[in-house]
Structure 1
Amino acid sequence: MAPFILRKADFFPNCTFPAAVAERYPQDVFAEHSHEFNELVIVLRGNGLHVLNGRPWRITRGDLFYIRAQDRHSYTSVDNLVLQNIIYCPHMLTLPADWAQLLPGLSEAPGRPDWRLTARGMAEARGLITRLGQETSHGDAWGALMVESLFLQLAIALYRHRYIPTQAPEPEERGSVEALIAALANSLDKPFDLDSFCARHHCAGRTLRQQFRQQTGMTIPGYLRQVRICHAQYLLRHTALLISEVATRCGFEDSNYFSVVFTRETGEPPRQWRQSRSASPLSLTD
């Protein structure tokens, strides 16, 4: 079944403006869809499963996605998930800026859709988004230019404060939940030891566990397990790796245990899941 399309007229308060804010408080399960516009998605709270062009991503506070109009995505398994969606029409952006650099995926060149946003970046972005939302409710002659100006400021703020999930965040965030999530993203295929992480970053394990649970709604082992399962789904669908090889690349030494966990999390054994959703195998370059 083809995804349904979200229409610009249903989401833009003023169709002469190049951008608008579409808040999700909270974001419920949402079926696969595409848009007549592009979208920035910032996760403010909670967690969920974001399926983008067939690839699942376990998302939580601080995740940032750049969605193109033609992309297909959906939300499932949500738990108190709160999003801030900024929608925009690229062809209506007129200010002289390098929009293609600021907004991944805007040009023909491939760009990664998934990023993380520092705590400082989250705070700065939320202030700009509030102003952007207020401005879109106005209809004066300068409204479109003001909206684009605020959207440009937002795009620059996100560019300055975003980082690839597997990269360490800014130095002042070492020992924080942000640094922990980056470490977990680098532990898909190997064991992760929280005590070693805390000793290296001079932080208290008990405090970090509490902060992680408060910000994501998940335990640290539960988050890592689900991130690994998402990676396993990607490998099963897009590669010809054996089930045992997928298990190893996702941090499971025992392929039988991997199958048990995968079945519990997805409702299907790995082999059956692959057969029902297989795509052309790809070589792994990332």
Structure 2
Amino acid sequence: MVTAPLRLAKADYIPSEQMPVAVAERTPQSSFPPHVHEFNEIVLVWRGNGLHVMNDRPWPVTCGDIFYLHADDCHSYESVQDLVLDNIIYCPERFQLALDWQQLLPARNEGCWRLTTRGMALARGVIKQLEVESRKSDLLSRQLTEALFLQLALILQRHRYASDLPWQLPEGEQLDLLMAAIQGHIASPFDLATFCLQHRLSERALKQLFRQQTGMTIGHYLRQLQLCQAKYLLRSGDLLIGEVASRCGFDDSNYFSVVFTRETGLTPSAWRQRFISGGEAHRLHNAKG
């Protein structure tokens, strides 16, 4: 029996019926079951790591990740470790400024974005102001809250980049350069020494910076990306296990099965069978044989 997700109400997070925006600080964010909202939400991750499952697709998250969620997007948090984030809650129907918000905020189901280090610093300052003003209920505070939300939306638009696409990042954004490079090597080996030589960076210092900001090693982060991609491919397509392994950076499908089983508690085949019908499972089993 499938349990319906929790539904979070506006009144529990935005006490004033007129206020369009609120900030829900999560320091830390604990594991949280699947839920939907009566409001839209922007999630900005500041520190730590965990697994964010959005509309049944898992995403490994750490500092700099951004998610734009609509009211009926279902998401949850799992396997969290010192995860610190802010939820920017907003109700589009309460906005008073005559703006095309669809042009300022990404369309739904566009996956995960990342924010540059410079963008994180700018966004953090605006969010602190937004948190103060959104707790009030007078007209001026409501207007200022919406203006601050507009400022935040513009900062995110200017400083974000798609995590799964090549991007020219500003010089000096060491962590962002590294994140973009790692996410571009899910299906192929990533050589940190070569990357550091190419960008004239200290390998030791970069490892320390990554561990400090994310709470995990570079190798662990890459492995989480590979496993999340494997979960998505196993659930959403009919690729053979060996093909999934290859697309996720594993040359040996047996080793892939060992790693996947160790991390999830299920074999790749058992994971897939959770999401497909009996007839389709039988077809895939025959094709594999």
TM-score calculated relative to the size of structure 2: 0.92
* The one of 218, 221, 224 aligned to 2:219: 221
Match of 2:40 among 38, 57, 68: 38
Aligned to 1:284: none
Give 3-state SS (helix, strand or coil) of 2:61's partner.
strand
Q: 1:186 to 1:243 in 2, by over 3 A?
A: same
Question: Which deviates the most, 36-45 or 5-14?
Answer: 5-14
Q: Mind listing any 5+ residue stretches in structure 1 that lack a counterpart?
A: 282-286
Q: Which residue of 1 aligns with 2:286?
A: none
Listed one character per residue, the Cα deviations across residues 42-72 of structure 1 (whole Å, up to 9, x for unaligned) are: 0000000000000000000000000110000
Give the secondary structure class of the aligned counterpart of 1:235: helix
Shift of 1:230: 0.2
Q: 2:273 aligns with which of 272, 275, 286?
A: 275
8 Å CA contact 1:118–1:169 kept in 2: the answer is: no
Corresponding residue number in structure 2 for 1:91: 93
171, 174, 180: which one aligns with 1:182: 180
Q: 1:14 aligns with which of 16, 33, 53?
A: 16
Q: Superposed, which structure 2 residues align to 1:21-100 within 5 Å?
A: 21-100=23-102
| Amino-acid identity (%) | 55
Query: Residues of 2 paired with 1:241 and 1:64: CA distance?
Result: 29
**Would you say the 8 A contact 2:169–2:176 is kept in 1?**
no
User: 1:15: how far off?
Assistant: 2.2
Q: How does 1:116-195 map to 2 (within 5 A)?
A: 116-166=114-164, 167-168=166-167, 170-174=169-173, 176-195=174-193
Matched-pair contact (CA < 8 Å) for 1:50–1:74? yes
Count, aligned residues = 276
2:257, 2:268 within 8 Å by CA — same for their partners in 1?
A: yes
Q: Quick check: 177-186 or 28-37, which moved more?
A: 177-186
1:101 maps to what in 2?
A: 103
Aligned partners of 1:44 and 1:62 also within 8 Å: yes
Alpha-carbon distance, 1:159 to partner: 0.5
Instruction: Note the aligned Cα RMSD (angstroms).
Output: 1.5
Which residue identity does 1:119 align to in structure 2?
T
Encode CA deviations 1:163-209: one digit per residue, 9 max, x unaligned: 011333522235x1111111010001111100110011100111100
* CA displacement at 1:87 relative to structure 2: 0.2
| 3-state SS of 1:261 partner | helix
User: How far apart in 2 are the matches of 1:98 and 1:216?
Assistant: 35
